[in-house]
Amino acid sequence: MAALAEKYRAEIQSILAKYPPEHKRSAVMPLLFVAQREYGHLDRQAIAEVAALLQLEPTEVGSLIGFYTLFHDRPGPTYRLQVCTDLPCALRGAEEFARELRQELNVSQGEPDTDGQIAVEEVKCLAACDRAPVFQLQEPGGIHYYENQTLETALAVVEELRGRAGSD
Amino acid sequence: MLRNSEAEPEVTEPIVLRHRVLPEFDRLTVYRQHGGYQAFERAVRSRSPEAVIQLVKDSGLRGRGGAGFPTGVKWSFLTPGVFPRYVVANADESEPGTFKDREIIERNPFQFLEGVAICAHAAQANVAYVYCRGEFWDLTSELDRKIAELEGAGLLGDGLFGTDYSLRIYTHLGAGAYICGEETALLESLEGKLGQPRLRPPFPAAEGLYGKPTVVNNVETLANLPLILERGVDWYRSVGTKQSPGTKVFSLSGHVKRPANVELPLGTTFRELIFEHGGGILGDKKIKAILPAGASAPILPAADDVLDSGMDYESVAALGSALGSASIIVLDETVNIAWAEAKITDFFEHESCGKCTPCREGTYWMKHILGRLMTGAARAEDIELLHSVGTGIRGKCLCALGDFAALAVTSGIERFGTDFKVHAVNGQ
Ligand SMILES: Cc1cc2nc3c(=O)[nH]c(=O)nc-3n(C[C@H](O)[C@H](O)[C@H](O)COP(=O)(O)O)c2cc1C
Ligand code: SF4
Ligand code: FES
């Protein structure tokens, strides 16, 4: 199986072109992002594919997954609303915001909702402390910031996501 | 401290946040209308790398990523005669309370990229990487488009300005690990490995990326370069203090009315930043404490002598803290400092890379003792225990994270002891 290699040939080529040919390994994180976009998470199969692309041992690739918080090794919610509750945001009400959002969605910290689509997680500083409360939306295809949030605006985002998930 | 003008707070022309006064400054045509890329072109055509390094040395520019190390001096440590060399822009920006590099990349991208290019010319590097924290996903895609635009305009690529100099800039996304902001961990991560700090020496200037001489500089540091080259050393040194020249982008957050990035001469007082530019304390409460460098420097009681002190590397050190990345977090009178330090400890415990035992275990223990304290399950002796765990970490770690974590706790206990005792007493 070399599904990624075929489906994303051009993208993989342009990633590899950034690094000296003898230091291909540098491409491992960008390629893991490609794999995560395709598969939603990074299981053994995904890791083996990325390892094969770079002629690395799967264990060398696998050890990275646990180290970096944006990689996920098991199936999870499609959409992760990651609210910053680090100190500067906490001083501006981010902890209450996260709590209220979870209450409103009837989920507990980090647990997905009943459809398994959406989870509310708490994360460390996102470099947006002047615009608290803030969350980033991590989905397989990317990460987007939502700043100066209120419960209403956040719930509107959730509605929109549910609509998207429903229409897939 | 030496100030340009003692009389009144200066409203200096921005050096880094020029987009604040120049509309559409994130467009290449606009940036070039204001002289953009002339400094780089002139450097490539007619200024030797040695001359640029000397100029940056003379300017007194110091690294804006935290350590404040003189930039030109760092460049002069590149091992002579060894090639290829690399330049890496540190855009990992993950220190709690820091959000300046993000604004620079988003709103003033071409000045930042010109700074990268100037640095690459000085280092005689043909490849530069911009290591962005993984959360800057959208920002990084946008930066890729700007880089492509520069290539299209002949400002990046091969045979630049009719010389044989070629330069390519590539972005590289991290994946969520604060420690990758530490320059050697960043290099490991960029090589596709676990982002754990390296033993130093060798320093990156000798053996950096792929074992080759490498310059790692912060985004804000690099963004200073175009105007330093264009306008010269005397102009640059006319702003700021003698030992800390130039401006600094202060990320002001927490209990202020207007949290924001504010670019001011180094040496501006805390009071001016917080009460003039930040509009004072939210709800007009009293100010209690200041964290001058995010989570990574000892906490300061907001007494008058602190508020009237200048924010430059020397003055803040003299107060018993550090300017670091100048992420000023303001805490009002309602904040219990033990709670704040518990949050900070939580951060460091989460972000410790686990390579050295004192940091890995120490942050774990401090987090647990503080957890007991915050849930009312701790006794008075626990505060002493907490302090001794902190002291035990100091000076025993591979990178500065361990010391930062320890100093947060020990400075909190030493300077705000009663805030800790309140919880312990309640717990008995
Ligand atoms: C734990 C830790 C985290 C750091 N994080 C960053 C960061 O996010 N961005 C940054 O520019 N420098 C960071 N630094 C400082 C870098 O190691 C390095 O000194 C800096 O990038 C050098 O650039 P400068 O001389 O332009 O400041 C960090 C240092 C430590 C010890
Ligand atoms: S001090 Fe902490 S973060 Fe730094 S290398 Fe050691 S374990 Fe890692
Ligand atoms: S503390 Fe929340 S974005 Fe910085």
Decide if A145 contacts A134 (C-beta within 8 A).
yes
Distance between CA atoms of residues B108 and B101, nearest Å: 10
Task: Please check whether residues B158 and B26 belong to one and the same domain.
Answer: yes
Q: Is residue B129 domain-resident? A: yes
Is B343 within 8 Å of A87 when comparing Cβ atoms? Answer: yes
Nearest to A126 among B135, B291, B350 (CB): B135
Task: Please check whether residues B361 and B311 belong to one and the same domain.
Answer: no
Q: Is residue B242 domain-resident? A: no
Distance between CA atoms of residues B117 and B72, nearest Å: 15
pLDDT of amino acid A113: 82
Task: Please check whether residues B58 and B96 belong to one and the same domain.
Answer: yes
Decide if A14 contacts A62 (C-beta within 8 A).
no
Task: Please check whether residues B48 and B90 belong to one and the same domain.
Answer: yes
Task: Please check whether residues B256 and B396 belong to one and the same domain.
Answer: no
Helix or strand or coil: residue B221?
helix
CA-angle at B91, arms to A74 and B255, nearest 5°: 90
Closest approach of A4 to chain B, Cα-based (Å) = 19
B359 CA to middle of ligand 2, Å? 6
Task: Please check whether residues B118 and B168 belong to one and the same domain.
Answer: yes
Task: Please check whether residues B191 and B299 belong to one and the same domain.
Answer: no
Task: Please check whether residues B272 and B389 belong to one and the same domain.
Answer: no
Q: Is residue B287 domain-resident? A: yes
Q: Residue ranges of chain B with pLDDT lower than 70?
A: 1-11, 426-428
pLDDT of amino acid B424: 85
Task: Please check whether residues B348 and B420 belong to one and the same domain.
Answer: yes
ipTM over 0.90: yes
Decide if B28 contacts B153 (C-beta within 8 A).
yes
Number of structural domains found in chain B = 3
What lines the ligand 3 site, CB under 6 Å? A 84, 86, 88-89, 125-129, 132, 134; B 96
Name the CA dihedral angle for B247, B248, B254, B255, rounded to a multiple of 10 degrees.
-20
Closest by CA position to B270, among listed B309, B242, B212: B309
User: B237, B266, B295: which is the final residue of a domain?
Assistant: B237
Residue B259 belongs to domain spanning: 247-332
Q: Structural domain boundaries of chain A? A: 3-62, 79-167
Q: Residue ranges of chain A with pLDDT lower than 70?
A: 1-2, 165-168
Task: Please check whether residues B380 and B264 belong to one and the same domain.
Answer: no
What's the start-to-end Cα distance of chain A, in Å?
26
The correct answer on CATH 1.10.10 for the domain covering A3-62 is yes
Q: Which residues, other chains included, contact B67 with Cβ-Cβ below 8 Å and sequence gap of 6+?
A: none
pLDDT of amino acid B4: 43
Size of chain B in residues = 428
Report residue B140 as tokens.
């990084």
- Nearest-by-CA chain B residue for A92: B254
Which class is domain A79-167? alpha beta
Does the predicted TM-score (pTM) go above 0.80? yes
Task: Please check whether residues B346 and B406 belong to one and the same domain.
Answer: yes
DSSP code string of B270-309: HHIIIIIIS-SBGGG--EEEEEEEEESS--EE--HHHHTS
A60 CA to middle of ligand 2, Å? 21
pLDDT of amino acid B11: 53
User: B185, B202, B237: which is the final residue of a domain?
Assistant: B237
A86 at the B interface (CB within 8 A)?
Answer: yes
Q: Which residues, other chains included, contact A120 with Cβ-Cβ below 8 Å and sequence gap of 6+?
A: A81, A83, A98, A101, A102, A105, A107, A109, A110
Mutate which of B92, B129, B137 to disrupt the A interface (most A C-beta within 10 Å)? Answer: B137
pLDDT of amino acid B428: 46
